[in-house]
Structures are given as structure tokens and as C-alpha cells.
């Protein structure tokens, strides 16, 4: 059997913003690499992130990700003929960055609305309201 070389670092330092729950059994093709895959994927991505890898039958496993805002998503990965570790890391990274980008845009829209003159208009007295009370 041909050995597969991974471009992932041999060992990555633990990141306090990333928690990995590796529930894959010993001997599982991805068991030894799943922690590094996740750390490579989420490196330089604001956290905290909570990630679990669990077996899903004999031919698949699932990676479940909980984002800093509590949103979650998962991906099912085939064991045999599945992606190379660096490709799996890129899949996780892309999904988490899309989620982070979505949150950043949503928060910016919220801040823009909260600071706009229109946001405070409802509490301003109206000339049509009796006794100058807000509508």
C-alpha cells in the first residue's frame, strides 16, 4: 500500500480558542491527524470554536463544528478514498470563514442601523401626537 504524505505540519501547538473532541477509534485513517487538520483549518480565525470528529458507520465519519456565536454545521467525510488531510482542512476553513464573514456583515449592518438617525426616530416627539408625547 502506498503511503500518503501530508503537507500538514507534524505537530501543531494547542490553541485555546479551538477545542477538538476526537472520538475516532485508534487505527482510523484520520484519527491521528484530525486535531492538526482542525487547527490548520481554523488558524487565524477568531474563536472560540468547538469541533467534534465521530465515526459514522464503518465507511464515514462526521465533523461537527460549533461557531463562536453558537451556530453549528457538520460535514460527512468518507473514510476510504476520502480527501487528503490538507483538502479536508481547506473545506473546514472555507466553511468557517464563510460563517465568520456572514457574522461580520450582520454585525456591521446591526451597528449601522443602531447608529442611524432613523433608528431613534420612533422615540422623538411628533407634532401630531397629543401633548408632544412620542407615538
pLDDT at 3: 41
In a domain, 31, yes or no: yes
In a domain, 135, yes or no: no
Task: Give pLDDT tens digits for 48-74.
Answer: 999 999 999 989 999 999 988 888 999
Q: Which helix (H) or strand (E) holds 90?
A: helix 85-115
Kindly state the average pLDDT of the residues 3-30: 72
Q: What rounded mean pLDDT belongs to the chain?
A: 75
- Helices 34-42, 85-115: crossing angle, 10 deg rounding: 40
Could you tell me the CATH number of the domain that includes residue 53?
A: 3.30.160
In a domain, 10, yes or no: no
Per-residue burial over 36-69, b = 16 or more CB atoms within 10 Å of its CB, e = otherwise: bbbbbbbeebeeebbbbbebeeeeebebebbbbe
In a domain, 29, yes or no: yes
What is the pLDDT confidence band of residue 23, given thresholds at 50, 70 and 90? very high
What is the pLDDT confidence band of residue 89, given thresholds at 50, 70 and 90? very high
In a domain, 41, yes or no: yes
Query: Are 85 and 6 contacting, i.e. CB atoms less than 8 angstroms apart?
Result: yes
In a domain, 125, yes or no: no
Torsion-angle region of residue 64: left (phi > 0), alpha (psi -120 to 50) or beta?
Answer: beta
In a domain, 74, yes or no: yes
pLDDT at 45: 83
Domain that holds residue 90: 18-112
pLDDT at 2: 39
Count the domains in the chain. 1
Dist. CA 46–CA 34, nearest whole Å: 20
Task: Give pLDDT tens digits for 95-133.
Answer: 888 765 555 555 556 556 665 544 444 444 445 545 555
In a domain, 67, yes or no: yes
Amino acid at each position: 500500500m502506498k503511503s500518503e504524505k501530508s503537507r500538514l505540519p507534524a505537530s501543531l501547538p494547542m490553541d485555546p480558542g479551538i477545542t477538538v473532541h476526537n472520538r475516532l477509534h485508534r487505527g482510523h485513517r484520520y484519527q491521528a491527524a484530525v486535531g492538526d487538520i482542525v487547527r490548520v483549518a481554523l488558524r487565524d480565525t477568531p474563536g472560540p470554536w468547538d469541533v467534534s470528529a465521530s465515526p459514522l458507520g464503518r465507511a464515514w465519519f462526521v465533523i461537527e463544528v460549533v461557531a463562536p456565536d453558537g451556530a453549528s454545521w457538520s460535514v460527512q467525510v468518507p473514510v476510504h478514498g476520502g480527501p487528503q488531510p490538507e483538502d479536508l482542512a481547506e473545506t473546514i476553513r472555507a466553511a468557517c470563514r464563510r460563517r465568520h464573514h456572514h457574522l461580520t456583515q450582520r454585525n456591521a449592518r446591526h451597528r449601522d442601523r443602531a447608529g442611524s438617525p432613523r433608528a431613534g426616530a420612533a422615540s422623538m416627539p411628533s407634532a401630531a401626537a397629543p401633548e408632544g408625547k412620542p407615538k
